[in-house]
Structure 1
Amino acid sequence: MRLLLMSDTHLPRRAKRLPEPLLAELPHADVVFHAGDWVDTATLDLLESRSRRLVAVYGNNDGPELRARLPEVAHADLGGLRFGVVHETGPAAGREARCAARFPDLDVLVFGHSHIPWDSTAPTGLRLLNPGSPTDRRRPHCTYLTATLADAALTEVTLHRLPR
């Protein structure tokens, strides 16, 4: 199963549209994750229409229309793993312990907010993934993640850098 992870698209504030390399990944993804801060409903409409399955939440910059359509926390059981999606997890220091305590029944937590990619594992085994932002960089590059899910394991977790 092919996964596509993104967050913090902030359209149309940070860019006019999603980058072409990211859009080109949509037909190859079995599941698309978006960890909030869409800003516009058009991006949600686009991902709903082009994704086989969308697992998504709203973020702190999302208004009432998006909050009416999306949860604050989303869950999905996929290929033997329990996924959760949330926008914000707080400061980097102590993130693994804090998230493991808040989400004890998850195997993977996808989050956003910082626009900074993150891939770590808590002592409990919880894998934390932040794909960064495809449209608003806080470090040298805009980014997103892809991964493969097979035999109840994530493999080929790849951070993709987008052209500036």
Structure 2
Amino acid sequence: MTERKERTVKTDPAPLVVGLDGSELGAAALDWAAAEAARRGARVVAVTVDPGSADLDAAAEHVRRAVHAHPGVTITHERRTGLIADTLLSAADGAAMLVIGSHGANGVLSALLGSVAAYCVRHARGPVVLIPPALAAPTGARRPDSALTPGPLL
């Protein structure tokens, strides 16, 4: 008889990529992604696109808060340049999902999702999770932990 050895190669789960603009909605997206990453044993890559409408100092503070609130999750912060939606889609290539806040803007689809969110939903190669404004707390307020519990992905 020939003895057969099998090797198991452990691979890290794909990261969750979050669009982070410094807004409270971006912070809610980061918190949601960190909670989901903890459940999956994955890491989070927060991406801030500059130049743009991003508040870089607020985005960095949101990352610091998320690292503190989710100590078991590796959270990194990348600053990239380019068109916001294209840059987020590029960052999410190969990721488990892209998580972004949905602000709402002009146009039918954009009014429901926001222009960046609508573009990402249309052109993403993987899942996109949209965080609604209802999950964003006003500055200084605290969202209930139950609001961050990952739900079903659509």
- If the TM-score is normalised by the length of the shorter chain, which range does it land in? 0.3 to 0.5
Length-normalised TM-score, structure 1: 0.34
Larger radius of gyration: 2
- Higher strand residue share: 1
- Higher helix residue share: 2
